[in-house]
Structure 1
Amino acid sequence: MNSRRFVLTRGAALIGAASSGILLPRWAQAQTSNLRVGLMLPFTGTFAQPGIAVENGFRLALAQNGGKLGGREVEFFKVDDESNPAKGIENATRLVMRDKVDVLVGSVHSGVQMGIHKVARDTGVLNIIPNAGVHVATRAQCAPNVFRTSFTNAQPTLALGKPMVDRGHKKAVWITWNYAAGDEAFEGFEKSYTEAGGTIIKKLGLPFPNVEFQSLLTEIASYKPDAVACFFAGGGAAKFLRDYAAAGLNKTIPLYGSGFLTEGVLDAAGEAAEGVLTTLHYSDSLDIPRNKQFRLDYVKAFKAQPDVYAVQGYDAGLLLVKGANAVKGDLSNKPALYAALEGATIDSPRGKWTMSKAHNPIQDIYLRQVVNKDNKVIGIAQKAVADPATGCRMG
């Protein structure tokens, strides 16, 4: 797939220097040449909306900082990754080797991210992950040039167990799809729930993306747990919420989940989502000035409401601005660039967060309850949650 070029502005000095054949020293090139940003995101298919939201948030962050990075004009190269892992390495290689991007922002899908990750580790190009929560990227395969502005799949559920036990729900059934994201979300839940004194009486799963839940819901009812915890997302999450309510379980067995259970599906789920409790690092209704201003700015710029994906894209932009400014636009100054990115505090719509040594956010996780089709924040489930970064050996 051909990438498409998007140029914010071009300086006359760049054109003049190129046409005259002058060879500029590196510091001069950093001031006069465009800084190339590759956006490798899904713009079609199931994950198109998250991909668009990430790009919008990223562009908004740059626009609010003068449209430049470290004093350099910005040139965008876009590739629709189609959420297709089979094309991940090929697309990332094209952006890095053909389009010569200085930084690669992507992606949403964890399978695609593993292709990007291989290219980033092989070439040394700076990679900022605005969504994909796959553990290995900031665990066993962590790298100095790879930074994430979203979460690991275990992070939201690392804060889920204690609120459940605090509410008297000491016996739980877990249910998810049998795939990597579900397994990684379970890791966080198992740790937090058992450490809080809870017991997981059954772990249930079905093949991804199967949404035939009925037999498993019947099984859940037979166990009579205090609560059910789960990981589902997208259309499958909406179907699970509707089926859970249709089976009458929402009246007798409280439902909890990683926050993606109720992200972007509340209209589709309707009344079935009411009362469901989830944990996540953001909520549309988060009542802090930074979030209110961000939401106003986003609506003004894009005539659409932002979501968690827009926030993560926005924070990817803020992080890159901090790094580029610290090295005055010279991203080849890698030690100083990485130090600036590692040491950054991001003033985010989700609340301020810092970067872990494994290059993953250390962030508050909120407890949310669906009230009148809104993920209402009812408290902080856990402050400053850090992924354990198991196996990360940086340097």
Structure 2
Amino acid sequence: SADDTVKIGLVASLSGTYEPVGTELRDGFKLYLDTHGDKLGGRKVELIVADEGDGPPTAVPAATKLVKKDKVDVLTGLVGGGSVNGVLPLIQQAKIPFLGSNARPPVKDIEYVWTTSFLSDEPGKAIAPYIKEKVDGPVYAIGPDYQGGHDELRGFTEEFKRVKGKLANPDGKTTWTPFPKTTNFMPYFAEIAKTDAKAVY
């Protein structure tokens, strides 16, 4: 019966910088449904897809429509960490599950949050000791100026410093590149060349 149908709202980047990631996320979800009779756990699924765009300014209205107008039972997707942070208050207010499908920033209240991927700071944190062991000298830290970049580089720099690594950045802090606008990295390479960096992260 219609009462057994689970209404799922999937928010993914179908435009903007992460369109390839969002499109694959959506297509993978739809492929599973197509090959399993549009069912999850034996229950019929009604999937409603919305465009996350490049972050919170588009992700929050998209998720709000799914939750408040379409009355979804579950929210999933979200490519960007900033989008996750932007949508969390809505999820907590609506008291519906959010199943994150991509990297996730640190979240304090996880009562309604499940993640199928990794925490956004984990890759940097995991590789920092290896880089300290293999690179004989300081490392220059540089990354995109948005939530995902902040999480990734925070994970790396905190762990790298903990294992007694030294950053080559003149002020000892990560250099940020405007996101998603930066396409010419030559000025940054020139600045890195002025330091004693033995590697770049």
Compute the TM-score of the two structures, normalised by the length of structure 2.
Answer: 0.84
C-alpha distance in structure 2 between counterparts of 1:219 and 1:110, whole Å: 28
Pick aligned residue for 1:44 from 8, 15, 23: 15
CA 1:222–1:177 in structure 2 vs 1: closer, same or farther (change >3 Å)?
A: same
User: Does 1:213 pair with 2:185?
Assistant: yes
C-alpha distance in structure 2 between counterparts of 1:133 and 1:58, whole Å: 19
Give the alignment's Cα RMSD to 1 decimal.
Answer: 2.3
User: Does 1:53 pair with 2:20?
Assistant: no
User: Does 1:199 pair with 2:171?
Assistant: no
- 1:89/1:118 contact within 8 Å kept: no
Q: Which moved more, 1:73-82 or 1:206-215?
A: 206-215
* Counterpart code for 2:183: V
Displacement of 1:222 in angstroms is 2.0
* Counterpart code for 1:227: A
SS in 2 for 1:184: helix
CA 1:226–1:89 in structure 2 vs 1: closer, same or farther (change >3 Å)?
A: closer
Pick aligned residue for 1:146 from 106, 109, 113: 113
- 1:120/1:127 contact within 8 Å kept: yes
C-alpha distance in structure 2 between counterparts of 1:149 and 1:170, whole Å: 36
Displacement of 1:129 in angstroms is 1.3
Displacement of 1:64 in angstroms is 5.9
Pick aligned residue for 1:121 from 88, 92, 112: 92
Higher Cα radius of gyration: 1
CA 1:180–1:46 in structure 2 vs 1: closer, same or farther (change >3 Å)?
A: closer
* Counterpart code for 1:212: N
Q: Which has the bigger relative contact order, CA under 8 A and spacing at least 6?
A: 1
C-alpha distance in structure 1 between counterparts of 2:16 and 2:144, whole Å: 20
- Paired position in structure 1 for 2:141: 174
Pick aligned residue for 1:98 from 60, 69, 77: 69
Identity %: 28
- 1:129/1:149 contact within 8 Å kept: yes
- Paired position in structure 2 for 1:227: 199
- Paired position in structure 1 for 2:131: 164
CA deviation vs aligned residue, 1:261-315 (integer Å, no higher than 9, x gap): xxxxxxxxxxxxxxxxxxxxxxxxxxxxxxxxxxxxxxxxxxxxxxxxxxxxxxx
- 1:128/1:148 contact within 8 Å kept: yes
Compute the TM-score of the two structures, normalised by the length of structure 1.
Answer: 0.45
- 2:82/2:146 contact within 8 Å kept: no
- In the alignment, structure 1 segments of 5+ residues that lack a partner are 1-13, 16-28, 230-395
Displacement of 1:66 in angstroms is 5.6
Q: How many residues align?
A: 196
- 1:169/1:198 contact within 8 Å kept: no
C-alpha distance in structure 2 between counterparts of 1:63 and 1:170, whole Å: 52
- 2:124/2:153 contact within 8 Å kept: yes
SS in 1 for 2:20: helix
CA 1:207–1:83 in structure 2 vs 1: closer, same or farther (change >3 Å)?
A: closer
- 1:171/1:198 contact within 8 Å kept: yes
- 1:108/1:130 contact within 8 Å kept: yes
CA 1:69–1:131 in structure 2 vs 1: closer, same or farther (change >3 Å)?
A: same
- Paired position in structure 1 for 2:80: 109
* Counterpart code for 1:154: D
Displacement of 1:38 in angstroms is 0.9
- 1:164/1:170 contact within 8 Å kept: no
- 2:6/2:43 contact within 8 Å kept: yes
- In the alignment, structure 2 segments of 5+ residues that lack a partner are none
C-alpha distance in structure 1 between counterparts of 2:145 and 2:13, whole Å: 23
CA 1:124–1:61 in structure 2 vs 1: closer, same or farther (change >3 Å)?
A: same
* Counterpart code for 1:53: E
* Counterpart code for 1:213: F
